[in-house]
Structure 1
Amino acid sequence: MDLNVAGIRLDVTEEGYLTDVSQWNEEIAVEIAKELGIELTDRHWEIIYWLQEQVKNDVALSIRGVKKSGVIDIKEFYALFPGGPLKVSTKIAGVPKPKSCI
């Protein structure tokens, strides 16, 4: 499936996750966030880069893992990425859909 973001054709799954992580950049993240009704702040970027680092290190992402990470508390995670914080944040971060997301 194709998605045009910031004038760039992206390969995405039916749910909107990038199939080619190398296509991700900050401009694309900003556009995806905008489409989801989120204006990215420095705190969003901290979480986005942390998520990317976890994926690079083969850490399975889950709400429980985020909660235990000490990087962000769950209340703030939900506030920053409303409507399913793990799903929303990983889409913006350009990482594959976590297995823990339905």
Structure 2
Amino acid sequence: MAQKEYAGVMVDVNDEGYLENANQWTKEVAAAIAKENNLELTDKHYHVLDFLRERVAKGEALTIRSVGKSGVVDIKGFYELFPGAPLKLATKIAGVKKPLSCV
């Protein structure tokens, strides 16, 4: 297990850069991960990140479709907020494990 510093905090990360311990996540850590991925977070981003963290805490599997049906953001908006591979990027910034549906 590797460690990386985000916002002055050392966090445990896997070889893909995902946090190993979701309890090490803070909004400041999220902002630093986002910045590393050329993204500046807005309130809308944080609403999506909170949704993802809540769902994972409940043991639910995450999919782009489930995010799109969440009422927090539609699929098009999800792609706009987290360009490229939205679920992969959003879960990384949210400090949760990469979903099995992401390659």
TM-score band by shorter chain is over 0.9
Identity of aligned residues (%): 54
Q: TM-score with structure 2 length normalisation?
A: 0.93
Where does residue 61 of structure 1 map in the other structure?
62
Report the CA distance between 1:67 and its aligned residue. 2.2
Residue 6 in structure 1 maps to residue 10 in structure 2: no
Q: Counterpart of 2:19 in structure 1: which amino acid?
A: L
Residues 37-76 of structure 1: matches in 2 within 5 Å? Answer: 37-76=38-77
Report the CA distance between 1:3 and its aligned residue. 1.2
Unmatched segments (≥5 aa) in structure 2: none
Separation in structure 1 between the aligned mates of residue 71 and residue 10 of structure 2, nearest angstrom: 36
Separation in structure 2 between the aligned mates of residue 51 and residue 65 of structure 1, nearest angstrom: 10
Where does residue 85 of structure 1 map in the other structure?
86
Structure 1 residue runs of 4 or more that deviate by more than 4 Å after TM superposition: none
Unmatched segments (≥5 aa) in structure 1: none
1:18-71 CA-to-partner distances (Å, cap 9, x unmatched) read: 001111111101101111111111100110101111011111001122123232
Where does residue 22 of structure 1 map in the other structure?
23
Separation in structure 2 between the aligned mates of residue 4 and residue 71 of structure 1, nearest angstrom: 30
Paired residues, number? 102
